[in-house]
Structure 1
Amino acid sequence: MLKLISIEQLQLGMYIHQFCGSWLDHSFWKAGFVLNSREDLRRLQRSNLSSLWIDSAKGRDLPAAPVSHSPAAQRVQPAEPARATARVSMSDEVARALKICALSRQAVMAMFQEVRMGQALEVQHAEELVTQIAESVMRHPNALISLARLKTSDDYTYMHSVAVCALMIATARQLGLSEDYIRLAGIAGLLHDVGKLTIPDTILNKPHKLSESEFERVKLHPEAGGAILRQSHDVDALVLDVCLHHHEKADGSGYPHRLAGNQISLFAQMGAVCDVYDAVTSNRPYNRGWDPAEAIQRMSTWKGHFDQRVFQAFVKSVGIYPVGALVRLESGRLAVVIEQNPKSLLTPKVRVFFSTRSNLHLEQHVVDLARIHGQDRIVAREAPEDWEFKNLDRLWNGVPA
């Protein structure tokens, strides 16, 4: 199994799979060897490397948790933090994010089509796309994430990849990772489900619940994706790790390798949360997606599924009441969340549009709950299916249905 460790954790007998950094940071011309020489160990410890990947299946393992499991305490990131980007309003970023979503769909479709035709996946194409997605997330994290959730059954595979990419970037930023690791997290999110290209569309797009044999076929996609990525050019070990292990669970009940706890890397844990969130909030042929706030609430009760530190960072990045959530205010009014308050997850901006007391639609207006402390507040989330409102999504994104 691949693990990301700090240079201080490196020990004799470990198999060095990949160095994290420029070739100028160390004096070794390639990785892929068992560290048996004390002199080589000293050279690495004196190098400019801060971390590297080991393969515990080919050499000595760590006796305790790997560095990747707790970024703040174990310094996964290089010295340079992610650059700051001027934040814009949700409404301003939605227009840009719509264009990025359209371009992303076409780019991912073309990239995946090349893989279907037997060509090696070009990671450079993924990197160019991730740069655009990352810039949108940095300007306003909720715009593209929320728009990518509005996918059709025909483009689910492509837009799910885009959504998980954006969610991985947002979570990585929340965890305080460096710009290099944020970029890799985005690439990992974009390519995490590439193995589903080996699954027949009749199974992936089946309008009913999968049979046991069909589900077993679907469960092969992480390793199928790993095989595709290994045949591709310049795929980072981190990206491969997320592809292989984003369906592992903290309690060891996941697949394909039934890894548990510290056996699962930080980035695979991130992939697990982001993948599930977008899946359960998306409409599928056989099931209506959950309201974003409902998804957060339900996922928080799944004991043993997610690493709690990663899950809490994820919640901070999307909000307890994510954009698009339908909520009830103490005043009896219904509203849709349109923008997060990064300083207080309980007081987002909402668009009020309905009164449950008069059972009438109201003139729509925006309320910043952080600015009216004590006058009104969210008291509950509402299930959209309990109401007959049309085009709720238009209330927050302004996009015609």
Structure 2
Amino acid sequence: MRKKISVQNVCIGMYISDICGSWMDHPFWRKSFLLESARDLATLQNSSISDVWIDTGLGCDVKTGSVVVSEDQAAQDVENELARISASKSARVPLHEEIERARALLAQGKESVTSMFLEVRMGKAIKISEAAPLVDEISQSITRNPEAFLNLARLKTKDDYTYMHSVAVCALMIALGKQLGLEGEDLKEAGLAGLLHDVGKMMIDEAVLNKPGKLTDEEFNIVKEHPRKGWEILQGSSGITAIALDVCLHHHEHMDGKGYPEKLAGEQISLFAKMGAVCDVYDALTSNRCYKNGWEPAETIRKMAEWRNGHFDERVFHAFVKTIGIYPSGTLVRLKSGKLAIVLEQSSKSLLTPVVKIFFSTKSNEPILPEMLDLSGSQESIVGAEDPAQWGFDLQKMTGI
């Protein structure tokens, strides 16, 4: 049985199943463990964390008379926190303050896009008026803290890829648009275009779309029809914009003219379509698909940099890198000291000096007390990115993102 209790009521022998608050703030490198040492107990009780969840089936129960928070009260606490964040000004806020709102918004986005795209599959037109509010909410989240929503949007399952990819590209288009100086209606239209860019895939046979193996030439030609099919679908939607139509039709065009469906090249491709190309490829490569696991963010940026001359517009790609960083948030990095850390947020001072959370020593090969560090004001530096799988780390589980 799970119970939420104050950290002051925690005792040795309890199984901590979750620590209330963001992983970025709590003093341990994992969120669930059996509390066995007095040192760990003191660390927890002296931290800024006020409550934890315990599992009485895996460890000791709370002492009689201690204050226990009900599941209903815990749910109400979450609602109150989301309401507080919603009421705050649209200024950049710390990652941990935005993460839960972003999580709720992402779930809402998945539900909305899934419903919208399934209606398309049944032959119904898209209601742009219903999609616009979602774009506005995502834009506000990106303004408050872009890493929160973008980190969560990157983590999708193979089964919900098509729908979540659209939500992720929407967010990336907005973040990139801000970097390029877009604002007002142009920024909203960029987000809407990202949300709808792959709607044509609803007209592709699911057996082909979700095939786990390599596509035949005939199957790939079928998939390549989705930009034009999407364009045809959107033309029948009331309130659709020229930008959304353009990005839907041209997000697979390349600067060297080797893309599809119209083999446009260079300045024949609009700014918004160039943006769509970068955002679409980045999210596709970092996502788990039915036929492959996603690449790590830093590796993806490195690969895209190799292709940029023929594939992407140079200015747009550089702006994209400034948006998400050379070491994007969520990247596991090795520092000069031999410690491992997770990139949390980008620094305004340099793409090479993000804010990280150090949690592991490669010299002793064991976890260490987590430490937040802004590399822009430190002697530490990043040596390179690491593969979490090779270290046996599940970063999503560890961070709670």
Which TM class, normalised by the smaller chain length? 0.7 to 0.9
Query: How far is the alpha carbon of 1:281 from its aligned partner?
Result: 0.2
Pick one of 194, 197, 200 that aligns with 2:202: 197
1:43 equivalent in structure 2: none
Structure 1 counterpart of 2:178: 173
- State the shift of 1:211 in Å: 1.7
Where does residue 355 of structure 2 map in the other structure? 349
**Alignment-derived partner of residue 248 in structure 2:** 243
Would the alpha carbon gap of residues 146 and 161 (structure 1) be closer, same or farther in structure 2, given more than 3 Å must change?
Answer: same
Tell me, in whole angstroms, the C-alpha distance in 1 between the residues paired with 2:370 and 2:210. 37
Q: How many Å apart are 1:115 and its aligned residue?
A: 1.2
In the alignment, which residue of structure 2 is the partner of 1:116? 121
Q: Secondary structure at the match of 2:310?
A: coil
Tell me, yes or no, if structure 1 residue 158 matches structure 2 residue 178: no
Over aligned residues, Cα RMSD in angstroms? 1.2
Q: Which residue of 2 is the match for residue 147 of structure 1? A: 152
Tell me which residue corresponds to 1:87.
Answer: 92
1:206 — aligned with what?
211
Q: 2:288 aligns with which of 283, 289, 293?
A: 283
Matched-pair contact (CA < 8 Å) for 1:188–1:243: yes
What SS class does the counterpart of residue 336 from structure 1 fall into? strand
DSSP 3-state at the match of 2:371: strand
Which residue of structure 2 aligns with residue 227 of structure 1? 232
Aligned residue runs from structure 1 range 1-400, under 5 A: 85-302=90-307, 303-372=309-378, 375-389=379-393, 391-396=394-399, 398-399=400-401
Post-superposition shift, 1:395? 4.1
Counterpart code for 1:393: Q
Measured after TM superposition, the shift of residue 365 of structure 1 is 2.1
Identity level (%): 57
Pick the structure with more helix per residue. Answer: 2
CA offsets, 1:326-350, max 9 Å, x none? 1110001111111111232111111
Give distance in 2, aligned partners of 1:378 and 1:273.
25
**One-letter amino acid matched to 1:231:** G
Q: How far apart in 2 are the matches of 1:98 and 1:317?
A: 20
CA distance in 2, matches of 1:213, 1:355: 50
Structure 1 counterpart SS, 2:369: strand
- CA displacement, residues 267-318 of structure 1 (integer Å, 9 cap, x when unaligned): 0000000000000000112211111111111101103110010001111111
Distance 1:342 1:205 in 2: 40
Normalised TM-score (structure 2): 0.76
Q: Matches of 1:143 and 1:247 in 2, distance apart?
A: 27
Structure 2 CA distance for aligned equivalents of residues 112 and 287 of structure 1: 24
Once residues 388 and 214 of structure 2 are traced to their aligned partners in structure 1, the CA distance between those partners, rounded to angstroms, is 23
Question: Alignment length, in residue pairs?
Answer: 312
Runs of 4+ in 1 over 3 A off after TM superposition: none
Contact 1:336/1:395, CA 8 A, preserved across alignment: no
